[in-house]
């Protein structure tokens, strides 16, 4: 039997050997998850021994992480906008950069008004649920082509106590009515780029949530061309984008008559979000 300290050192060493980028952090997070301990507790008890079952589970998870299975798929936990979400192999794990999309939508939506929000390609539901948690008067609908992803989103809404409507739909296929805001973090990686992604993404994240087809803009074109029919006057359209897609996506929106089109950068100074408002003039397809 190893002590907590020896077990953690084993985890760090094993993950470093397998070239896991954040090997020290991941080794600790897995220990925290398996043993349900805090850092303070660990430093006070590091020479004690965990239970046999805990040691076996920790070693098994370290081996899986060493195979580049994403940490969030091992713990089924991901934190986003101050909330804990369930994730599995059917959805992309929420990324911190995506919080900028939530912030922009909250900043641009009216406060203390009943509003309707549509989230296309909802995945885990983290974007929609984060918006709804911060706009109690809002109502939201999330759609996804993957029924398994929708099951994850529905579970997150239930566990967080946030009410939303979930629809199995190919973008607008089964959508009716108009919304004050349409948000989306669609697949936007070029097909030829996917094979060069890190193993955690390329091998274990859902391909359909990554593939933006030949130029990465396929879903932006479809959504922008159709969204006008589903937006109320002055309605907001907001996307997460790839770091090199700001000019292309903003141009697509302007071509379709959207106004107040804005590209917002992330903390690294890279283009991350594009927003625009529906023009009163009906130029939409």
Alpha-carbon distance of 46 to 196, in angstroms, equals: 40
DSSP annotation of 165: E
Whether 144 has a binding-site annotation, put simply, is yes
Whether 188 has a binding-site annotation, put simply, is yes
Alpha-carbon distance of 238 to 160, in angstroms, equals: 24
- Find tokens 């641009």 and name the residue: 108
Whether 110 has a binding-site annotation, put simply, is no
Alpha-carbon distance of 170 to 197, in angstroms, equals: 26
* Cβ–Cβ < 8 Å for 217, 248: yes
Whether 86 has a binding-site annotation, put simply, is no
What are the C-alpha distances in Å from 80 to residues 70, 124, 131, 144, 275?
16, 11, 11, 19, 21
Phi first, then psi, for residue 175 (nearest 5°) are -100, 135
Whether 186 has a binding-site annotation, put simply, is yes
Task: For Cα atoms 42, 36, 29, give the angle at the middle one, nearest 5 degrees.
Answer: 75
Tokens linked to 99: 């919080």
Tokens linked to 148: 């398994």
Alpha-carbon distance of 76 to 70, in angstroms, equals: 10
SS3 content of the chain, % helix, strand, coil (to 5): 45, 20, 35
Alpha-carbon distance of 190 to 225, in angstroms, equals: 20
* Cβ–Cβ < 8 Å for 109, 115: yes
Q: Which residues line the annotated binding site for substrate?
A: 185-188
Q: Which residues are annotated as a binding site?
A: 144, 185-188
Binding-site residue positions for S-adenosyl-L-methionine: 144, 185
């Amino acid at each position: 039997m190893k002590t907590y300290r020896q077990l953690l050192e084993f985890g760090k060493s094993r993950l470093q050997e397998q070239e896991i980028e954040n090997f020290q952090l991941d080794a600790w997070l897995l220990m925290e998850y398996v043993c349900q301990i805090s850092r303070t507790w660990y430093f006070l008890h590091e020479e004690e021994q965990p239970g046999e079952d805990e040691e076996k589970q920790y070693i098994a998870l370290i081996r899986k992480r060493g195979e580049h299975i994403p940490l969030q798929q091992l713990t089924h936990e991901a934190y986003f906008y101050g909330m804990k979400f369930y994730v599995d192999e059917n959805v992309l794990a929420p990324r911190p950069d995506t919080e900028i999309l939530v912030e922009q939508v909250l900043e641009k939506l009216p406060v203390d008004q009943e509003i309707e929000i549509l989230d296309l390609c909802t995945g885990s539901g983290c974007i929609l649920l984060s918006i709804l948690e911060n706009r109690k008067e809002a109502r939201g609908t999330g759609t996804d082509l993957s029924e398994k992803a929708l099951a994850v989103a529905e579970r997150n809404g239930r566990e967080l106590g946030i009410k939303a409507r979930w629809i199995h739909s190919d973008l607008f296929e089964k959508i009716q009515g108009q919304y004050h805001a349409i948000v989306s973090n669609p697949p936007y990686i070029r097909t030829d780029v996917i094979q060069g992604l890190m193993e955690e993404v390329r091998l274990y994240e859902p391909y359909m949530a990554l593939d933006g087809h030949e130029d990465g803009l396929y879903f932006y074109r479809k959504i922008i061309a159709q969204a006008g029919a589903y937006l109320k006057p002055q309605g907001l359209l907001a996307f997460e984008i790839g770091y090199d897609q700001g000019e292309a996506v903003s141009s697509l929106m302007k071509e379709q008559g959207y106004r107040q089109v804005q590209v917002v950068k992330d903390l690294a100074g890279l283009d991350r979000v594009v927003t625009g408002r529906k023009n009163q003039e009906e130029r939409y397809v």
